[in-house]
Amino acid sequence: MTRRAAGRQDPAGGESAQAAAARVTGRAVSGGRTLSGALTAAVLDDGTPLMVKRGDRRGAVRAEAAGLRWLAAAGTVPVPAVRGQDERWLVTDRIATGQPSPGAAERFGRGLAALHAAGAPAFGAPPPGGPVEAYIGSAPMRNATGPDWPRWYAEHRVLPYLRRAVGDGTIRPAEAAVVERVCDRLPALAGPAEPPARLHGDLWSGNVVWGADGVAWLIDPAAHGGHRETDLAMLRLFGCPHLDRVLAAYRETAPPADGWTARVPLHQLFPLLVHTVLFGRGYAEQALAAARAALSA
């Protein structure tokens, strides 16, 4: 399709995904196969497969693009290249998918350890050029910095979602007390102090794409400076192919501090509260169970 033809509007009105892709990349774009309400597959003029993503929340595209660039700058786990963006549209390379393999899992584990070791300026630090007011999935996530991980994790990752869940009626006030006790005891529960790690930030298995090139790729980050055990805990939360190989390779490269497996519920508390806010009571039960497990570890 020529660049002029790419300027057509979609049937519902407004700019089409492929027209937006042509505009923000400055290149001719063809195709335009809808994958979901927000995702469109297209092709750049040199044959490069593209993913065109529409972001309807203020700052979401800027946060994701900055996160992808920050993760890419580490030169560890591959991420799709950002081809262009504006406030509403993000255009990246599209990954040809394949099947997970033990070898790819081991490479991913080593790469993830190196990504974390690339570090961040502070706990809660946004990627360079990224907004403070960011997102994890469709939930707001504030990237405000803190001097130490326990206080920062309580103030900026656990309590905001607990308060919203209570306000929505998803968690009852009496139930919230167990999560508040975790926050009170965080300095003792957190384990040895570590420097801020460069986190993907939303590392569930759906954001690990197993490429046709035999490599695991990372997509859809909620990147920020945090504790590396948070990424590892989230990777365990919803399952991941060859997870034992991923974690074994990670441990060989950069062993977590002693007792890290007992701290998994503590680090899963944040994503479970996010899911409670987004998806309701079923995740509230899991979040409360994680809080009780963290206290008994």
213 is catalytic: no
> How far apart (Å, rounded) are the C-alpha atoms in residues 68 and 116?
14
Q: Residue 6 above 70 pLDDT? A: no
Q: Which of 46, 202, 213, 258 is catalytic?
A: 202
Mean pLDDT score of the chain, rounded to an integer?
A: 94
Q: Categorize the per-residue pLDDT at 14 as very low, low, confident or very high, splitting at 50, 70 and 90.
A: confident
Please state whether the predicted TM-score (pTM) of the whole model is above 0.85.
Answer: yes
Domains in the chain: ranges and CATH: 5-93 (3.30.200.20), 102-296 (3.90.1200.10)
- The predicted pLDDT at position 2 comes to 25
**How crowded is residue 33: how many other Cβ atoms within 10 Å of its Cβ?**
11
- Residues with Cβ < 8 Å from 281, sequence gap 6 or more? 170
